């Protein structure tokens, strides 16, 4: 609501300023020169007073800006009788704010596209009848019919039908994906030419689409803190402006020189260039399936020097597979898998999914499990037939009293089991390195990241093997979430970046300077704690995010410096008396347009050699 009011306020003030200008011009033409002068002077002083109040409020909150230049220019031009120049300055300032709103609205097109497509209704099938209900009324387990061409309203699994599904609104991928029975589909995607019947997996508020909309809102609503960088230039720019104006006045002996210099020193390039570039960069990232939560994140990401990565689902493929089942003496392998899958069916960890899928593949019926409690990074404690079952890492079993010598060491990532204090067996997993992981890490090095680290809770042998394949020399394996946090906190040089995809990664994503969550699907905690969320299951997007950030900050800085350089040149010329105050005010408007056009370059295309490489 505040944004909407601000939007209309800027346009209203600009419209009022135009009305004042037209009215004053008519008064002047009809001979009411004195009235026109006082009319313009009074209005410009009201605007200056408004700016002064806003400036004082910002100073009260610790923000130093460049509004003092604009205020001084308005006061100086009125003081020397150049009231038309004062009016042009006010027109420039209010028009600049309106233009910024327009540019921001254009740049946010991709950021708002998801929210505009939010599904509102669902076709619920009950007693062989289809009833339309509000999306918020859909509950887990409901049967939902999705007609051809409709936006899929909920996260679900297909129980009848097959179709091509357009996932571009979530992933940025233009090619539709074929979905058949038992395949999962996400809310916000678009069904193709055939009807689908789904079983609801999540309530609307917990759906994939709802999570992403919340992320987009966070990105869209955040005021780009990079404006602070413009304010860093404000103090020297203000001092330089007043020095040039003062010298011009002193040398010429004419007070009007002071006003003429300050007119071309008005600060719109600093006020407009940075935020427009930031919004444009965030919008560009969103178009490529990368949600950046704030402008501050872009600034930090552009300076990253150290990068850490989780292994499973980040540097390796998103799916683990069961490699081997190692039963304890007197236990059958099938029983080990049955028990492991039964306990782990309640977990969202990659190893859990692999065990459940393998059990289903073998036609194994899962057991009834009671009171499962998961400790991230360690495993699950549960009960079956009143027997205490442990399923997880070695340290979970040893902490629960299992003799360590009874727990075999494995060369691969493994889930170990124990029943009522007795070791029961293990399930090991194999993983495949993503085909582009090595090239992505090479690209990150070319972007200035000097230290690459793997931080994972997985087996040391497996982690080192993957690290060797992708070109990482530093490996921290078998880490608990708290271990990962400590490693990232001590990582240097800074700023640091952490990329991961699971619940276990949520704490470390939160403490890193920039946390990047892969995929967003099924990892709500990781997505919420991250600064950047990659909607695609594609590690190359991490490098794209760094490139976009660096490009955006480059354009923002360039816009600021271009505006400052042109303003300084105009100030030096104005100091000689060659630029009348009214003309100077108009020239400054041209500078604003140049800065805005340049800032919008952050939203433009960069070519395949730069992004999506």
In sign, the C-alpha dihedral spanning 455, 460, 466, 469 is positive
The verdict on residue 376 lying in a domain is yes
Predicted local confidence at residue 441, as pLDDT: 94
How far apart CA 239 and CA 18 sit, in angstroms, is 31
Give 181's Cβ-side CA count (13 Å radius). 3
Residue 162 within any structural domain of the chain: no
Q: Which residues of the chain have pLDDT under 70?
A: 1-10, 58, 61-67, 96-97, 99-118, 168-175, 208-231, 266-272, 318-319, 377, 502-504, 506, 519-529, 602-613
Q: Tell whether 426 is covered by a domain.
A: yes
Q: Please give the tally of structural domains in the chain.
A: 1
Catalytic center residues: 310
Eight-state DSSP code of residue 433: B
Range of the domain at 387: 321-430
**Do the domain assignments include residue 340?**
yes
Q: What is the predicted pLDDT for the residue at 6?
A: 46
Please indicate, yes or no, if residue 343 is contained in any of the structural domains: yes
Whole-prediction pTM:
0.62
Residue among 355, 354, 338, 400 nearest 373 (CA)? 400
Examine residue 524 and state whether it is found in any structural domain, yes or no. Answer: no
Query: Among 311, 366, 318, which residue's Cα sits nearest to residue 344?
Result: 366
Residue 159's nearest CA partner among 133, 207, 187, 195 is: 195
The partner residues of 380 in beta bridges, in order of sequence, read: 374, 391
385 torsion bin: left (phi>0), alpha (psi -120 to 50), beta (else):
left
Please report, to the nearest 10 degrees, the dihedral formed by the alpha carbons of residues 252, 253, 255, 256 taken in order: -30
The dihedral through the CA atoms of 225, 227, 229, 231 has a sign that is negative
CA distance 143 to 124: 6
Q: Is 146 left (phi over 0), alpha (psi -120 to 50) or beta?
A: beta
Q: What is the pLDDT of residue 444?
A: 93
Q: What is the DSSP letter of 404?
A: G
pLDDT in tens, 524-540: 545 666 788 887 778 89
| pLDDT, position 417 | 94
| 581 and 85 Cβ atoms separated by less than 8 Å | yes
Whole-number pLDDT of residue 149: 85
pLDDT at 522: 44
pLDDT computed for residue 608 by the predictor:
42
Task: Find all residues with CB under 8 Å of 185, minimum gap 6, and list them.
Answer: 152, 155, 156, 157, 158, 165, 179, 196, 198
Inside any domain, residue 349 = yes
> Half-sphere exposure of 38 toward its Cβ, with a 13 Å CA cutoff?
3
Q: Which of 15, 24, 210, 192 is nearest to 97 (CA)?
A: 15
Question: Per the structure block, which two tokens stand in for 472?
Answer: 């990482």
List the alpha helices (DSSP H) in 391-511. 394-399, 437-446, 460-470, 481-489, 506-511
pLDDT (0 to 100) of residue 362: 93
Query: 400: alpha, beta or left, given left = phi > 0 and alpha = psi -120 to 50?
Result: alpha
Q: Decide if 99 contacts 276 (C-beta within 8 A).
A: no
pLDDT at 171: 53
**Residue 484: inside a domain, yes or no?**
no
Closest alpha carbon to 467 in 323, 306, 314, 304: 314
Using the CB atoms, write b or e for 538-549: b if 16+ within 10 Å. bbbbbbbbbbbb
CA dihedral 234, 236, 238, 244 (to 10 degrees): -150
* CATH value at residue 404: 3.40.1110.10
Taking alpha carbons only, the member of 309, 336, 335 closest to residue 463 is: 309
């Amino acid at each position: 609501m505040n944004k909407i009011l601000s939007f209309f306020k800027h346009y209203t003030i600009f419209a009022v300023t135009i009305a004042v200008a037209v009215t004053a011009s008519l008064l002047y033409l009809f001979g009411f020169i004195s009235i026109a002068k006082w009319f313009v002077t009074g209005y410009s002083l009201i605007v200056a007073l408004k700016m002064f109040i806003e400036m004082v409020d910002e100073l009260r909150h610790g923000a130093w800006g460049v509004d003092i230049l604009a205020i001084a220019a308005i006061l100086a031009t009125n003081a020397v009788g150049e009231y038309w120049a004062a009016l042009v300055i006010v027109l420039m300032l209010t028009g600049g704010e309106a233009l910024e709103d327009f540019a921001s609205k254009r740049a946010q097109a991709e950021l708002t596209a998801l929210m505009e497509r939010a599904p509102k209704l669902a076709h619920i099938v009950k007693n062989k009848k289809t009833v339309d209900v509000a999306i918020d009324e859909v509950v887990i387990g409901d049967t939902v019919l999705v007609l051809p061409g409709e936006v899929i309203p909920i996260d679900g699994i297909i129980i009848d039908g097959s179709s091509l599904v357009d996932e571009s609104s979530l992933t940025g991928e233009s090619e539709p994906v074929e979905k058949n029975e038992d395949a999962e589909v996400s809310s916000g995607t678009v069904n193709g030419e055939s009807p689908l019947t789904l079983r609801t997996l999540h309530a609307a508020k917990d759906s994939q689409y709802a999570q992403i909309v919340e992320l987009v809102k966070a990105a869209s609503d955040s005021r780009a803190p990079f404006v602070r960088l413009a304010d860093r230039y404000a103090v020297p720019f203000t001092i330089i402006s007043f020095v040039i104006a003062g010298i011009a006045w002193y040398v010429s002996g004419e007070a009007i020189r002071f006003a003429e210099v300050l007119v071309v020193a008005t600060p719109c390039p600093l006020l407009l260039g940075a935020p427009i570039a930031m919004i444009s960069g965030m919008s560009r990232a969103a178009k490529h399936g990368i949600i950046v939560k704030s402008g501050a994140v872009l600034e930090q990401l552009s300076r990253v020097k150290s990068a850490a990565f989780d292994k499973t689902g980040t540097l390796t493929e998103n799916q683990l597979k069961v490699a081997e089942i190692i039963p304890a003496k007197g236990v059958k392998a099938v029983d080990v898998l049955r028990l492991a899958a039964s306990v782990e069916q309640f977990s969202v960890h990659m190893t859990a999914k692999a065990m459940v899928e393998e059990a289903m593949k073998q036609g194994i019926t899962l057991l009834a499990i009671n009171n499962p409690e998961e400790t991230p990074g360690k495993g699950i404690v549960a009960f079956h037939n009143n027997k205490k079952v442990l399923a997880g890492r070695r340290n979970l079993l040893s902490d629960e009293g299992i003799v360590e010598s009874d727990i075999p060491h494995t060369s691969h990532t493994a889930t170990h089991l124990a029943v009522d204090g007795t070791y029961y067996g293990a399930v090991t997993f194999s993983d495949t390195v993503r085909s582009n992981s090595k090239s992505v890490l090479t690209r990150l090095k070319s972007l200035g990241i000097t230290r690459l680290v793997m931080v994972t809770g997985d087996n040391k042998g497996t982690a080192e093997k993957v690290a060797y394949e992708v070109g990482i020399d530093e490996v921290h394996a078998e880490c608990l979430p708290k271990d990962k946090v400590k490693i990232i906190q001590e990582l240097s040089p800074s700023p640091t970046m952490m990329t991961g995809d699971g619940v276990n990664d949520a704490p470390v994503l939160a403490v890193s300077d920039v946390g990047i969550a892969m995929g967003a699907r099924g990892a709500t905690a990781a997505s919420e704690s991250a600064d950047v969320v990659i909607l695609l299951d594609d590690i190359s997007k991490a490098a794209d995010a760094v490139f976009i950030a660096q490009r955006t900050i480059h354009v923002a800085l360039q816009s600021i410096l271009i505006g400052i350089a042109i303003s300084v040149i105009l100030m030096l010329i104005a100091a000689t008396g060659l630029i009348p105050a009214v003309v100077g005010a108009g020239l400054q408007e041209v500078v604003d347009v140049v800065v805005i056009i340049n800032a919008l370059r952050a939203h433009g295309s960069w070519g395949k050699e730069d992004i999506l490489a």
